[in-house]
Amino acid sequence: MNLRRFIRKWFCKNDLKAALSYKGLRLSGTIDVLIDRLRFEAKWSLYDFLDFMSNDELKDVCRWYDLTVSGRKKARIKRIYEFITSDWKDYDWESEHKTQKSGKDTEPHWVRRYDVFIAYRRDTGLDFARHLKNGLEREHIPAFLDIVDIPKEFKGKQTWIETRNKAIRRTEKFLLIITHRIETSKELKEEITIARDNDRTFMLYRDHTLSPQITIALEREKIDLSDFQQISFSSKEDLLRKVLTALK
């Protein structure tokens, strides 16, 4: 597991600033800069990061990774610690730090865990989807977008479908961008079916020019999107702003 990504996932910028304030260190910089300051100046180990988390936060981590939740705080920390890395002392954080600074990533896109799966219709929703993904990841919210996160060489192959399906199953939130003619998209129908079968959390954002009453005929059922909570948006900037508000 990529340890930097784990810390980014479970520590928001305010959490990191609180930790730095506790250690008497500077609070300026990006999330990665704050993480590195704690790691290299405060010499924090993974255990220190986990110990700084509250009991409720540790329970959330255990639930996310399907670990046992019960027990005292120290037991939960040990459980998470052992899950993330079997030997923290041998972990080459310096190498990861250099990799991160160089802009490279050692973990392939298609094996990552994401916070949000972005579902959209290619011909009417791609511009919205691209802007949303870029904006979410600037805020360190990992978002899966097929056209970006599936290798181009997979296009037209079964591997592409398997990669997409795995991403839906590994992502808690299924965000559907409702644009013109989404009800006729075969790919969207498949994605919605997988998300429903795996009890994903649905987030629906609708182009303000459309009616909320859209019926989608899936293989086993028909769903009326007006039965779901929808948030309308007027532009790609408005969409990003409203999604960020919901996720924070």
Q: Show Cβ contacts of residue 1 under 8 Å, excluding neighbours closer than 6 positions.
A: 83, 84, 85
The rounded distance, in Å, linking the Cα atoms of 78 and 54 is: 14
Q: Which residue is associated with the tokens 């007027």?
A: 234
Kindly state the tokens that stand for 165: 């399906």
Q: d(Cα 219, Cα 193) in Å, to the nearest integer?
A: 8
Q: Is 117 left (phi over 0), alpha (psi -120 to 50) or beta?
A: beta
Which helix (H) or strand (E) element contains residue 169? helix 158-170
Structural domains of the chain, with CATH: 3-102 (no CATH), 109-247 (3.40.50.10140)
Q: How far apart are CA 116 and CA 140, in angstroms?
A: 12
Kindly report, residue by residue over 176-214, the tens digit of the pLDDT. Answer: 999 999 999 999 999 999 999 989 999 999 999 999 999
- Are the C-beta atoms of residues 143 and 120 closer than 8 Å to each other? no
Provide the β-strand partners of residue 223.
216
Cβ distance 149 to 111 under 8 Å? no
Q: Is residue 90 pLDDT above 80, yes or no?
A: no
Q: For residue range 113-161, what is the model confidence (pLDDT) as tens digits?
A: 789 999 999 999 999 999 999 999 888 888 999 988 887 777 777 888 8
